[in-house]
Chains A and B, each alone.
Chain A
Amino acid sequence: MAEKVLMKGNEAVAEAAIRAGCRLYFAYPITPQSELIEYMSRMMPKVDGNFVQAESEIAAINMVYGASGCGRRTMTSSSSPGISLKMEGISYLAGANLPAVIVNVQRGGPGLGDIQPAQGDYFQATKGGGHGDYRLIVLAPSTVQEFADMADLAFDLGDKYRNPVMILSDGLLGQMMEPVEFKPYKTEEELKQLDEQHFDWCMHPNEDEPNHHHHEINSLEIDPLILEQHVIKLGKKYDKITKNEIRYEKYNISDDNEVVVVAFGTAARIAKSAIDELQEAGTSIGMIRPITVWPYPYDAIKNVLHDKVKKVVVCELNLGQMVEDVKLAVNGKIPVEFLGKVGGILFTPDEIKAKILDKQGE
């Protein structure tokens, strides 16, 4: 077993990305994400990687487009307002079938908002954000360890489907320290294989192949009939991802559950405290924690709603975004209630308990 180190989420995900083979990282600083870019600026030169502090978030995402077009593992990161700036580039990456990892350490919004943890970018991450028919694979960590592990997973999924992947974290996970264990660094041989898997489509100086410089990486298709086929193909890819890649955690799910909570990321951690305390007091509450928020675990939620479950409570650090997906999953079978906090404020386990037990305001 590797040695555990106490690390901030921002630093842990950066270290894990390097270990996963990321050697090209481009970003622009923003709180509460800046430790990530600082860590990359320190470590990239040590692994013969490239670190560029771009002149803007938009420049950074377009550098990612270029690096990914050359078939390399590449990443950028930011926090909410900066992610909004990247949205054009993200749509282009999706349109051009390019793998890339984008980390969003969410803070309070809209606009410049504040710098405290929030989950207000759920819609942006899972329903679009950029223009056009596209999907991001969106992973939502809830511990520093999971945040780090997701770097590896995000690169693998990105390569597997040639699709951009977002890690949807927040200021709490970015700033907090927890023990974390890392996978070993990829070997030179493994890094070479990672590159080679893309040689049939990417730009690369492979002179054995006659058309090596003619690979076209583009999201522009002027002919509607060609674009139609292109988008249909994207749709088929998204169907495949939906079929294969749904991930979620079941917490305290049992036949005794009276209420089922659905929460992701930081909100799920706080909900776990509430569920533990209620369990000790003799009330059984289960939770489904989506790990992929796209593709979304609709069936996982539907399947735990046996007759004893009276209602579903959705806890989010926003005005109610994922609650729409939960309602689709529950499909009117039982009531779906919502508890939210905004402005970068966190709820306490007591507030969640009160919502579950219908004792708010007591």
Chain B
Amino acid sequence: MKTEIICSGFGGQGALTIGKFLAKAGMGEGLNVSWLPSYGPEMRGGTANVSAVISDKPIASPLVTYPDILIALNQPSIDKFGPDIKKNGLLIFNTDMCPHGIKRDDITIIKAPMNQIAKEIGSMMVLNMVAIGIVIGKTGIVKYETLENDLNGFLKKKNPELLEANLKAIKKGIEIGKK
């Protein structure tokens, strides 16, 4: 099975990192993965976005045109990629930054106030981890344990508080995704 994902948001919200963690976890579970960022002047202030593909077969084109999953951290991301989500696909978006949402009834939509959740956990840096949690809670595309291992690997010594905040955010996301 092949899952094509676009993660998109303002530069600094961590959209590219969502794709990276999902791809890394997929690789850790023996799947084929690719991560292709948009790069260039649009990354500051505009929408920074990344195409991530996770597949059990070799990945031909890494460029995602019609995503199975769109993770939108801001409204411009929905406006840009929302219409291209595959029928029966999944849209996950951040209600704090997406006032208008999207009008489509042929896809599954999961909304969450990600800014607010991140704030409650105590670090705006983990906003993107809430989104990752929702993806794995809803789809099980990768396992929570794989992500936890990966995060442990480089944050446990460097910044244990941030590690805890990250894991909390993922767990909160999983809860939302499973609803």
| Residues of A bordering B, CB below 8 Å | 4, 6, 31-32, 114-116, 171-172, 175-179, 269-273, 276, 346, 348-350
Chain B residue nearest to A175 in the complex (CB): B39
Q: Which residues on B sit within 8 Å (CB–CB) of A171? A: 39
A-B pairs with beta carbons under 8 Å apart, 20 shown: A6-B27, A31-B40, A114-B40, A115-B39, A175-B37, A175-B39, A177-B23, A178-B34, A178-B35, A178-B59, A179-B32, A269-B61, A270-B61, A270-B63, A271-B60, A272-B61, A273-B61, A276-B60, A348-B65, A349-B60
Tell me the minimal C-beta distance from B175 to chain A in angstroms. 28
The answer to whether the Cβ of B33 comes within 8 Å of any Cβ in the partner chain is yes
Residue of B nearest to A352 (CB): B61
Chain B hits for A116, CB < 8 A: 40
B contact residues around A32 at 8 Å (CB): 39
> Besides A176-B62, A177-B20, 12 other CB < 8 A contacts?
A6-B20, A31-B39, A114-B40, A175-B39, A178-B34, A179-B33, A269-B60, A269-B61, A270-B61, A270-B63, A273-B60, A350-B65
CB pair A176 B34 closer than 8 Å: yes
Q: What is the CA–CA distance of A63 and B34 in the complex, to the nearest angstrom?
A: 35
Instruction: Report which residue of B24, B34, B61, B65 has the largest number of chain A beta carbons within 10 angstroms of its beta carbon.
Output: B61
Complex formed: what's the CA distance from A154 to B32 in Å? 26
- Taken together as a complex, chains A and B put the C-alpha atoms of A272 and B61 apart, in Å, by 7
Within the complex, the shortest CB–CB distance from B46 to chain A, in Å, comes to 15
Provide the residues of chain B in CB contact with A115, threshold 8 Å.
39-40
- Docked CA distance A178–B52 (Å): 10
CA A179 to CA B20, docked complex, whole Å: 11
Q: Which residues of A contact B20 (CB under 8 A)?
A: 6, 177
> What are the residues of chain B within 8 A of A276 when measuring CB–CB?
60
A349 & B61 in contact (Cβ 8 Å cutoff): yes
Inter-chain contacts of B63 with A (CB < 8 A):
172, 270, 346, 348
CA distance A115 to B42 in the complex (A): 12
* B24 partner residues in chain A, CB cutoff 8 A: 6
* Chain A residue at minimal CB-CB distance from B27: A179
- Inter-chain contact A4/B60, CB cutoff 8 Å: no
* Interface positions of B from 89 to 103, Cβ below 8 Å from A: none
Tell me which residues across on chain B come within 8 A of A348, comparing CB atoms: 63, 65
Question: Which residues of B, 1-45, contact A by the 8 Å Cβ criterion?
Answer: 20, 23-24, 27, 32-37, 39-40
- Give bound CA distance, A177 to B19, whole Å: 10
User: Min CB distance, A198 to chain B, in Å?
Assistant: 38
Complex CA–CA separation, A175 to B60 (angstroms): 16
Smallest CB-CB separation from B31: which chain A residue?
A179
Contact A272 B65 (CB under 8 A): no
Q: Which residues of A contact B65 (CB under 8 A)?
A: 348-350
Whether B62 pairs with A172 at a CB distance below 8 angstroms is: yes
| CA distance in complex: A172, B38 (Å) | 9
- The answer for the CA separation of A151 and B24 in the assembled complex, in Å, is 24
Nearest A residue to B41, CB-CB: A115
Q: How far is the CA of A218 from the CA of B77 in the complex (A)?
A: 57
- Cβ B23 vs Cβ A6 within 8 A: yes
Contact A6 B33, beta carbon cutoff 8 Å: yes
Partner of A272, one of B27, B32, B60: B60
Q: How far is the CA of A178 from the CA of B26 in the complex (A)?
A: 11
Q: Residues of B contacting A4 with CB < 8 Å?
A: 27
Interface residue from A114, A270, A346 paired with B60 (Cβ < 8 Å):
A270
CA distance A270 to B61 in the complex (A): 4
Find the A residue at minimum CB distance from B40.
A115
Least Cβ distance of A63 to chain B in Å?
28
The CB with the most chain B CB atoms within 10 A, among A6, A114, A346, A348, is that of A6
In-complex Cβ contact of B33 among A175, A178, A272, A349 (8 A): A178
Give Cα distance in the complex from A346 to B65, angstroms: 11
Chain A's closest residue to B32 (CB) is A179
Query: Mask for B119-146, Cβ within 8 A of A = 1, else 0?
Result: 0000000000000000000000000000
Contacts of B32 in A (CB 8 A): 179
For A179, what are the chain B residues with a Cβ–Cβ distance below 8 Å? Answer: 27, 32-33
Within the complex, what minimum Cβ distance (angstroms) separates B39 from chain A? 5
Q: Considering the complex, give the chain B residue whose CB is closest to the CB of A115.
A: B40
* CA–CA, A221 and B159, complex, Å: 63
Contact yes or no, A176 B36, CB < 8 A: yes
